Amino acid sequence: MAKALKRTNLHDWHIEHGGRMVPFAGWDMPVQYPTGPIEEHRATREAAGLFDIDHMGQMVVRGPDAEAFVNWLVTYDVRQMALFDAHYSLMCYPDGGIVDDVFVYKLPDSDGGEQPYFFIAINADNRKKDVIWAQAQAVGFDVTVADISDETYMLAFQGPKAPEILERLTQVNLRDVPRFTAVSDTIFDDVQVLFGRTGYTGEDGFELYFPAEHALKVWEGILAEGEADGVKAIGLAARDSLRFEPCMPLYGHEIAADISPIEARLSFAVGFGKKFIGRDALLKIKLERSSRVLVGFEMIDRGVPRHGYSIAQNGEEVGFVTTGMFAPTSKRYLGMAYLPRALAKIGTEIDIIVRDKVRKAVVVKRPFYIPAYRR
Amino acid sequence: MSKIETGLLYTKDDEWIKVDGEEATVGISDHAQDALSDIVYLELPDVGDTFAMGEAFGVVESVKAAADLNMPVSGEVTAVNEDLIDTPELVNSDPYGAAWMVKIKISNPAELDDLMDADAYAKYEEERD
């Protein structure tokens, strides 16, 4: 018998509001609400969208060696992080393949201790694997690695209006919180929330972490506060198109155990000036140049490129599509793909094999959408 | 509940056909567009192409999925709705009207007997869900 799908604390809300539920990473999650993914995508780009992403996991690392251990575990150099900084990073295998991509927060110990602790957001599909991996690497370090996913709720509130709407609900001035940092505050009287000015949509906004029993109160409260501003609940389909346009990688698509951060063009998250798991392999790949690299492409012929489609040139298979779709903001048929370095130059023509037919495409500049906080 | 228009015949794959003598118009049902979600792409045949009953005459793709369009009965394509190429979202908003897909000349009218009328299709939808 198939294992029962897990449900978030908002599962009933999703069903009551016409959420179309689908299995995703072992969870029963809303792929869309009645107005559809394209409208949800537009609402997030133009106003703000609220995402139930409690399927994602979180682990915390505490102890005297916490910083030394996390610096060994992940690719980014966390020694340069100040308290309340949040940074994108990767956990790699010794061969440079990716265990998972993560967001690392460096936080002050709430027990008043002098050691900072680290809060790490991980992918739903990789939760168990990540925790076991981290715990196995912790041998020899004076740390504890705990999975706090069950008791921690995670929402994302993203879009140009998200900060001002959320600020109406907090004591601190959320709009003054710099990108890639976090702040802790209470919301709706008594809910203690960690607000990270982060997200995976290319828009300004926050990711919220708080005790799971308050899920409905926070969710409905933010939706009510933002109703007049055009805030919508957003499903997984729009979450995917929103992260695709700014070319943010998704585990199982652009990144995987057999793909390195160098090939995935994530060198910005790799600090070679320190020791970490996978460093030697990654340095070799970087110095010797990876044979393949992640590119963006646009269809020339008509067709929708999709995950897993083959790419050919002169009749020979040369690569594969990692994600492809109709991009709602630019209204173009776009994709990301792995290609040999020799074919990665902008303007190179390639053939996408779309449902057994050859369709022409051209390598174009990434990202397809410049994130609001980089403009 | 999805809308089912009377006066049309339906296939088990959720295409509809509106018969007018030897000619007929073909599209997909409200249930089909709803199940597919936001439609972003269509591939349609050329005038003069001929198809057997049940044969794929085109492709419809939504945000998340691709599906074949199957011919309800055998026939030759006499007109194609080119508007849908640039505005595939019409299939979501007006599946029985502006989003007709092709017109055909029916080659074997007896095949129409195998299709469902609106009542039969409503029952089929109910049992399927």
Write the DSSP symbol of residue A317. E
Q: Do the chains contact at B63 and A355, CB–CB below 8 Å? A: no
Strands A49-52 and A232-234, bridge-based pairing: parallel
Q: What is the reported pLDDT for A271?
A: 96
pLDDT bucket at A3, cuts 50 / 70 / 90: confident
A169 Cα to chain B: minimum distance (Å): 34
A237 Cα to chain B: minimum distance (Å): 7
- Among A100, A123, A147, which residue terminates a domain? A147
The answer to the question of residue A250 being in a domain is no
Mean pLDDT over the full length of chain B: 96
Q: What is the ipTM of this complex?
A: 0.90
The answer to whether B71 touches B53, Cβ cutoff 8 Å, is yes
Q: Which residues of B touch A20 (CB under 8 A)?
A: 37
Q: Does A333 touch chain B (CB under 8 A)?
A: yes
Rounded Cα gap, residues A33 and A37, in angstroms: 8
What's the mean pLDDT in A320-334?
Answer: 97
What's the mean pLDDT in A271-288?
Answer: 97
The answer to the question of residue A313 being in a domain is yes
Rounded Cα gap, residues A177 and A313, in angstroms: 48
Q: Which residues of B touch A42 (CB under 8 A)?
A: none
Q: Are residues A138 and A183 in the same domain?
A: no
The answer to the question of residue A5 being in a domain is no
User: Is residue A312 classed as helix, strand or coil in its secondary structure?
Assistant: strand
Q: Is the pLDDT of residue B14 over 60?
A: yes
- Name the packing angle between helices A37-46 and A236-244 (round to 10°): 60
User: Is residue B59 classed as helix, strand or coil in its secondary structure?
Assistant: strand
Q: Does A329 touch chain B (CB under 8 A)?
A: no
Q: Do the chains contact at B66 and A306, CB–CB below 8 Å? A: yes
The answer to whether B72 touches B53, Cβ cutoff 8 Å, is yes
Q: Give me the phi and psi of A85, to 5 degrees please.
A: -75, 150
The tokens of A103 are what? Answer: 């967001």
Q: Are residues A175 and A44 in the same domain?
A: yes
The answer to the question of residue A304 being in a domain is yes
Q: Which helix (H) or strand (E) holds A14?
A: helix A11-16
Q: What is the reported pLDDT for B128?
A: 84
Widest pairwise Cα distance in chain B: 37
Q: Is the pLDDT of residue A1 over 60?
A: no
Q: Are residues A79 and A120 in the same domain?
A: yes
Q: Give me the phi and psi of A221, to 5 degrees please.
A: -65, -45
Q: How many domains does chain A have?
A: 3
Q: Are residues A52 and A171 in the same domain?
A: yes
Q: Are residues A142 and A87 in the same domain?
A: yes
Q: Is the peptide bond before B72 cis (omega within 30 degrees of 0)?
A: no
The answer to whether A352 touches A317, Cβ cutoff 8 Å, is no
Which residue in A33, A300, A305 sits closest to B66, CA to CA? A305
Q: Are residues A195 and A48 in the same domain?
A: yes
- Looking at chain A, the whole-number percentage of residues with pLDDT higher than 90 is 96
pTM, rounded to two decimals: 0.95
Please, is A373 exposed, middle or buried when counting C-beta atoms within 10 Å of its C-beta (0-12, 13-18, 19+)? middle
A293 Cα to chain B: minimum distance (Å): 26
| Closest Cβ–Cβ partner in A302, A333, A355 for B66 | A355
Q: Are residues A20 and A102 in the same domain?
A: no
Size of interface A-B (CB pairs under 8 A): 36
Q: What is the reported pLDDT for A290?
A: 85
Q: Domain range for residue A43?
A: 11-56+151-244
Strands A152-158 and A49-52, bridge-based pairing: antiparallel
CATH of residue A161: 3.30.1360.120
Q: What is the reported pLDDT for A115?
A: 83
The answer to the question of residue A176 being in a domain is yes
Mean pLDDT over the full length of chain A: 96
- Among A189, A221, A244, which residue terminates a domain? A244
The answer to whether A119 touches A110, Cβ cutoff 8 Å, is no
Q: Are residues A155 and A177 in the same domain?
A: yes
Q: Is the pLDDT of residue A186 over 50?
A: yes
Tokens 């299939």 correspond to what residue?
Answer: B91
Q: What is the pLDDT of residues B98-126, one digit of tens each?
A: 999 999 999 999 999 999 999 999 999 99
The answer to whether A98 touches A260, Cβ cutoff 8 Å, is yes
What's the mean pLDDT in A319-343?
Answer: 97
The answer to the question of residue A259 being in a domain is no
The answer to the question of residue A295 being in a domain is yes
Q: What is the pLDDT of residues A86-118, one digit of tens each?
A: 999 999 999 999 999 999 999 998 766 678 999
Q: Does A237 touch chain B (CB under 8 A)?
A: yes
Q: Are residues A214 and A331 in the same domain?
A: no
B112 Cα to chain A: minimum distance (Å): 30
Q: Which residues of A touch B37 (CB under 8 A)?
A: 20, 32, 36-37, 237
Q: What is the reported pLDDT for A112?
A: 65
Q: What is the pLDDT of residues B31-90, one digit of tens each?
A: 999 999 999 999 999 999 999 999 999 999 999 889 999 999 999 999 999 999 999 999
Q: Does A331 touch chain B (CB under 8 A)?
A: no
Using the CB atoms, write b or e for B84-103: b if 16+ within 10 Å: beeebbbbbeebbeebbbbb
Considering only residues 30 to 89 of chain A, which have any Cβ-Cβ distance to chain B shorter than 8 Å?
Answer: 31-32, 36-38
The tokens of B111 are what? Answer: 């095949």
The answer to whether A165 touches A231, Cβ cutoff 8 Å, is yes
Write the DSSP symbol of residue B129. -
Q: Which amino acid is at A58?
A: Q
Q: Residue A112, CB half-sphere, CA atoms under 13 Å: how many?
A: 0
Q: Are residues A44 and A158 in the same domain?
A: yes
Rounded Cα gap, residues B71 and B52, in angstroms: 7
- Among A91, A114, A147, which residue terminates a domain? A147
CATH of residue A102: 3.30.70.1400
Q: Are residues A221 and A175 in the same domain?
A: yes
Q: Do the chains contact at B64 and A326, CB–CB below 8 Å? A: no
Q: What is the reported pLDDT for A111?
A: 67
What's the mean pLDDT in A148-171?
Answer: 97
Q: Are residues A228 and A340 in the same domain?
A: no
**Residues 6+ positions from A289 with CB-CB distance below 8 Å:** A341
Residue A298, Cα to own-chain centre: how many angstroms?
23
